[in-house]
Amino acid sequence: MGTRSNRFWKICSRLSNVDYLHFHFAAAGCYAAKVEKANPAQVGEYVTIYLTGLGAVTPPVTEGAPAPLNPLSKANAWVNGPFSVYVEGVPCADINFSGLVPTLASVYFVNCKIPAVATGLRGLAVQTLGGFTDMVSFYVSGPF
């Protein structure tokens, strides 16, 4: 089981999935804002989840060393499965990346689309072959 971080960040939803993968590393004139009660994630929006404990990556990175910018180090759990993100028990149907944050050591990020869930404080959990990470809560808004 991985460890958790309760930092959730909302990413500009107007980017395509392909561009979205590179948003953090190229200032594209968009914004990143912390997801909180005053700024909830929207149903159907892509968010980036920062966490630790997802294990091995490809290409490999020495433990404690900063992750490279190119190529991105993908989490083996995401590449080889099983790997799921759940919001209030509902699976995120589109997870377009999971791997190490470039230039940081041992910090992972997961890009996923928020599924149709009720507005309010909702639980989020990440499942890998090793089990579930500790669930954290974040705010969601939008049509259900």
Phi, psi of 81 (to 5 degrees): 70, 170
Q: Three-state SS for 73? A: coil
- The pLDDT confidence band at residue 99, using thresholds 50, 70 and 90, is very high
Check pLDDT > 70 for residue 119: yes
Q: What is the pLDDT of residue 84?
A: 94
The structural domains of the chain, with segments of one domain joined by +, span 8-141
**Listed range (35-39, 82-86, 113-117) with the worst mean pLDDT:** 35-39
Name the CATH code of domain 8-141 (choices 2.40.30.170, 2.40.50.140, 2.70.98.10, 2.60.40.10).
2.60.40.10
Phi, psi of 79 (to 5 degrees): -70, -45
Spatial CA neighbour of 41 closest among 113, 91, 126, 89: 113
